[in-house]
Structure 1
C-alpha cells in the first residue's frame, strides 16, 4: 500500500517558503520535494483556499506564506491538504459473513478511530512555527565547527538550568 505524504511534504514546503526571501516557484518546491510542479500546485491550492499561502503571477512570482506559522497548526495543514488517511486499513472485508472477521473488524475500527482522534488533537496543539524553530536550531548547530557541535537533545531529556 502506498503511503500518503501530502502532510509532511506541505509542512516541509511551508518552512522552506517561510525561511526563503521572496516567492518560490512550483518548480523549485517540486525539486525540493522530489515531485512534479503540478502536484505541488494542487497541494498548495488547498492551503491557498484557506488563506495560508498566496501565489504571485508573472516574472519573479511564485508562492509565499501569508499566515504566521505560529498561528498555523498541523491540523490546519492536514485539513487543507484534504485530510489524507492517517492509518492504512488494518482490516479487510473479504468475508463479511464470517463472525470472526466481524468481531475483529469492529474492535480494530473502534481502536483506529480512537487513535486517530488522539492524533488529530495533538496535531491541533503543534504549530508549524514550532517545527520551523526546531529546524532553525538544527541548522544553527550544523553550522558550528565539529568540535563545538552538541548532539541534538532527545525530547525525553530534561533541560538543565
Structure 2
C-alpha cells in the first residue's frame, strides 16, 4: 500500500514559501515537490479554502502564506488536506459475522482511535514556525561552504 505523503510535502513547501522574497508559482512548487503543477494548484486550493494561503494574480503572482508560520499548526494543514488516512492498519471485513474477527476489529479500532487522538494532539502543538526554526538551526550548524 502506497503511503500518503501530502502532509509532509505541504509542510516542506510552506516552510520554503516563507523564505521566498515573493510569491511561489505552482510550477516552482511542482519542481520542488517533483509533481505536476495541477496537483499543486488543487492542493493549494484546499489550503486557501482554510485560510492558510492566498493566491496573487498578475506578473510576479503565485501562492503566498495568508498567516505567519507561528499561526499555522501541523493540524491545520492536516485538516486542510481533508484529513488523509493516518494509518495503513485497519480492521478486516472478510467475515463480519465471525466473533473472532469482531473481537480483533474491536481491539484494533480502539487502539487506532487512541493513537489518532495522540497524534492529532501532537500535530496541534507543533507549528510551521517550529519547523522553520528547526531548519534555521540546522542550517546554521552546517559548515559555511555547505550552506545554500
Where does the alignment leave 5 or more consecutive residues of structure 2 unmatched? Answer: none
Computed over aligned residues only, the root mean square deviation of the Cα atoms, in angstroms, reads 1.3
Q: Report the Cα distance in structure 2 between the residues aligned to 1:39 and 1:82, rounded to whole angstroms.
A: 15
Q: Please show how residues 50-129 of structure 1 align to structure 2 within 5 Å.
A: 50-129=50-129
1:77-107 alpha-carbon deviations (Å, 9 max, x no partner): 1101111011113331111121111110010
The CA deviation at 1:145 is 5.6
SS in 1 for 2:83: coil
Moved over 2 A (4+): 142-146
Q: Which residue of 1 aligns with 2:24?
A: 24
Query: What's the TM-score, normalizing by structure 2?
Result: 0.93
Mapped pair 1:11 → 2:48: no
Q: Report the Cα distance in structure 2 between the residues aligned to 1:80 and 1:143, rounded to whole angstroms.
A: 37
Q: Please show how residues 38-53 of structure 1 align to structure 2 within 5 Å.
A: 38-53=38-53
SS in 2 for 1:54: strand
The CA deviation at 1:59 is 2.1
Q: Please show how residues 138-153 of structure 1 align to structure 2 within 5 Å.
A: 138-144=138-144
Q: Report the Cα distance in structure 1 between the residues aligned to 2:95 and 2:2, rounded to whole angstroms.
A: 24
Where does the alignment leave 5 or more consecutive residues of structure 1 unmatched? Answer: 147-161
Q: Report the Cα distance in structure 2 between the residues aligned to 1:41 and 1:12, rounded to whole angstroms.
A: 16
Aligned residues: 146
Query: What's the TM-score, normalizing by structure 1?
Result: 0.86
Q: Which residue of 2 aligns with 1:130?
A: 130
Q: Which has the higher helix share?
A: 2
